[in-house]
Amino acid sequence: MNKKRIYLDYASTTPLDKEVFEAMKPFFSENFENPSSLYTGGVSAKKAVADARKSIGGEFGVRAEEIIFTSGGTEANNMALLGVFRSAKKKISKPHVITSVIEHPSILEVCKQIEKEGGEITYVPVSENGIVNPKDIAKVLQKNTILVSVMYANNEIGTIQPISEIARLIRQFQKDYGVKIAFHTDASQAANYLPLKVDSLGVSLMTLDGSKIYGPKGVGVLYKKKEVSIEPILFGGGQEVGVRSGTENVPGIVGMAKALEKCAQIRSSESARLTGLRDFLIAEILKKFPKVTLNGDQVRRLPNNVNICFPELDAEFAVIKLDEAGIACSSTSACNNLSENPFSYVIGALPDKKGCERSSLRFTLGRETVKTELDNVLKILSKILN
């Protein structure tokens, strides 16, 4: 990364950790063989994949065979939602899925597809601080509900959702009505900073993305509880316990496991360090610019997330001006920039935030962020806004 620039878009993607790259290197050109091969090189590659699966399973507190490798978080989310829906469709005429209005596009767009295929979707709103109320989930549970999907932490405003409480209410509903409901969470943004033990969270499906945890791009993980039935969305050789065909991305898989291992090692210390920097930046911005407001909850948010609404600011213009000054940040999710309406639907879904979807900036901090960089950001921000 160019040290002259200040990178504050770690929620979009992270640089590849050097230790992760070293772990991956042998599998690009030395031990490059196909894991499905029977000869020595293939067996060695197969063992590397198996070791990675076991390592990640250990981080989640689940069995290795419940870990499915994908091409990223988007595919894992598609596999979870479409897979569960299409499996249920064989038994139920109109399967019902519940999600929130602030989910990632790779959830919301899949929900649109489910509706096209005959499913029913309920979109649960959030409070003014961007938190899903578990009782709102409980209110819309039905006997034909087959899946609930609520992200662990939001990619734009950083709000941490009450996953374990939602899980408790789902379990109670299942007990009362004798039904089975899968509970999925996209933990892609949470993995750096929050616990990932499945038993504590109470989920039966969970998504991770390598590019968000200083791992390689193009690799992700879907945890699928053994009892959850899903239909494949890719067909071929039957890899990944028959639900995700395709020759395994061995370097990516090895890198994913190493990146998650590194996350676990520094999660506590890095969370504490970034929380201090986050709170400093928020406090200074609110002090310097009295009319601005914070998007999302001040406490229940990721340690690295600062999302601020600047009234009447053209956020896209500000991002360009900040880029010219050597600062990389964003105004919305990178995935949303390709849509016809690139403004933030997440902030637009927050009560009392009208206009902020076009006037908000997101600064997301990371392992290389230091206080002197934030001091410079405050100075440059003042010049641009004035």
State the catalytic residues. 335
d(CA 357, CA 354): 7
Residue 301, beta-bridge partner list: 159
What are the tokens at 221? 């993980």
- Short-list 74, 71, 83, CA closest to 103: 74
Half-sphere exposure of 368 (CA within 13 A, CB side): 16
d(CA 158, CA 304): 8
What are the tokens at 72? 């990223």
Half-sphere exposure of 85 (CA within 13 A, CB side): 27
Helix/strand/coil for 361: strand
Q: Give residues with Cβ within 8 angstroms of 81, minimum separation 6.
A: 97, 107, 110, 111, 114, 147, 149, 184
d(CA 253, CA 358): 38
Q: How many C-beta atoms lie closer than 10 Å to residue 34's C-beta?
A: 14
Helix/strand/coil for 306: strand
Q: Give residues with Cβ within 8 angstroms of 254, minimum separation 6.
A: 23, 24, 27, 48, 49, 52
Q: How far is CA 302 from CA 52, 148, 329, in A?
A: 27, 22, 16
